[in-house]
């Protein structure tokens, strides 16, 4: 496998390609928030033993969830499904204050795996609400992240998912409006909605730095840089992964065929017909093992030239929550006592 650091978009000429190529995009796959969340569940299982309850999917990837379930994690949709007094982990997407309070009432031992970048949005929502702003939350209503953020200030928050929905917004004071965004949106989609909000509410304010996370942005930029030079883009990710779906949309918006696949079983061989160059990436919750399975599958179908294309470096790391750090520190002492 060769590696190329991309400083400019891939250029294509009129000369027919002599071999079938696979462009393996980098960065791809797990972001820092997902690495942290998955590590939290694994460490909790190793430290406290099974079962460990997890509210909702720890990250939106079926392979990851199934793997952790086999190790002893029990995934539930509601806090009421967790036996009183047991240990529960909040997913990377965050939870509302109501969920936190209900966990306290039921005496649950909570480990919070909320991505720090999602926590940032929660903090911003509370700040704007306390300052008397009407809040517009840009995102997908049925997404777990939106559910949690909306819960921070439900009385003053409205969710919009499209430019068309902006026109219907009604607020008490058009001069006191703020906006926030889901962290896994399409950059282009968010830009258009934000512009529509600015047109409707000229004095609207937003976060000091964008809410769309670095990993979501980096993976979309990578697709934009290679899509025009590829005949097909494959995105490894589960159907309920927002950021994975956005990668497919980015490619299709550039008129390059793209498909979301959970694993190699989802690949339709007819997609490969007439394709000389395939670009492969993965959403922020998709593990590298699935990517490598697809690489091997494509090699077996004639794409023997594999070129890893690095669009930008990515070296973000997040620390573990105090509940896990304290448990790790206490583990050797408990072992010595025994």
- Catalytic residue of the set 145, 147, 152, 189: 145
| Angle, in degrees to the nearest 10, between helices 187-200 and 214-226 | 110
Contact between residue 220 and residue 248 where contact means Cβ atoms under 8 Å apart: no
CA-to-CA separations, 295 to 62, 77, 215, in angstroms, rounded: 19, 34, 22
Task: Report the 10 Å Cβ neighbour count for 96.
Answer: 16
Q: Is residue 145 among the annotated active site residues?
A: yes
Cα distances from 174 to residues 150, 177, 196, 267, in angstroms, run 20, 6, 14, 49
Task: Give 228's contacts (C-beta < 8 A, 6+ positions apart).
Answer: 9, 10, 12, 254, 256
Phi-psi region of 330 (alpha: psi -120 to 50; beta: other; left: phi over 0): alpha
**Residue 251, CB-side half-sphere exposure with 13 Å CA sphere:** 27
Hey, which residues are catalytic here? 145
């Amino acid at each position: 496998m060769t590696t190329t650091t991309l400083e400019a978009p891939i250029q294509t000429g009129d000369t027919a390609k002599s071999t079938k190529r696979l462009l393996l995009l980098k960065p791809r796959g797990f972001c820092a928030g997902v690495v942290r969340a998955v590590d939290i569940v694994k460490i909790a299982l190793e430290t406290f033993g099974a079962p460990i309850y997890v509210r909702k999917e720890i990250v939106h990837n079926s392979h990851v969830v199934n793997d952790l379930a086999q190790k002893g994690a029990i995934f539930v949709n509601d806090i009421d499904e967790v036996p009183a007094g047991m240990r529960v982990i909040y997913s990377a997407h965050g939870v509302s204050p109501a969920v936190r309070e209900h966990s306290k009432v039921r005496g649950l031992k909570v480990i919070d795996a909320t991505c720090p970048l999602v926590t940032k949005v929660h903090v911003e929502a509370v700040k704007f609400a306390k300052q008397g702003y009407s809040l517009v939350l840009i995102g997908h209503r049925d997404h777990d992240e939106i559910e949690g953020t909306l819960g921070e200030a439900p009385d003053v928050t409205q969710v919009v998912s499209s430019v068309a929905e902006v026109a219907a917004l009604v607020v008490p004071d058009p001069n006191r409006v703020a906006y926030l965004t889901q962290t896994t949106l399409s950059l282009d989609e968010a830009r258009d909605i934000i512009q529509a909000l600015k047109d409707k509410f000229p004095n609207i304010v937003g976060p000091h730095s964008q809410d769309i996370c670095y990993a979501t942005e980096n993976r979309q930029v990578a697709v934009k840089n290679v899509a025009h030079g590829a005949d097909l883009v494959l995105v490894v990710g589960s159907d309920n992964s927002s950021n994975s779906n956005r990668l497919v949309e980015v490619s299709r918006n550039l008129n390059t065929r793209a498909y979301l696949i959970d694993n190699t079983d989802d690949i339709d061989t007819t997609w490969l017909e007439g394709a000389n160059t395939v670009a492969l990436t993965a959403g922020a919750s998709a593990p590298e093992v699935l990517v490598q399975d697809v690489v091997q599958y494509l090699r077996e179908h004639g794409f023997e030239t594999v070129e890893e294309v690095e669009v930008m470096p990515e070296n973000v790391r997040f620390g573990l929550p105090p509940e896990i750090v304290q448990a790790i520190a206490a583990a050797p002492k408990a072992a010595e006592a025994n």
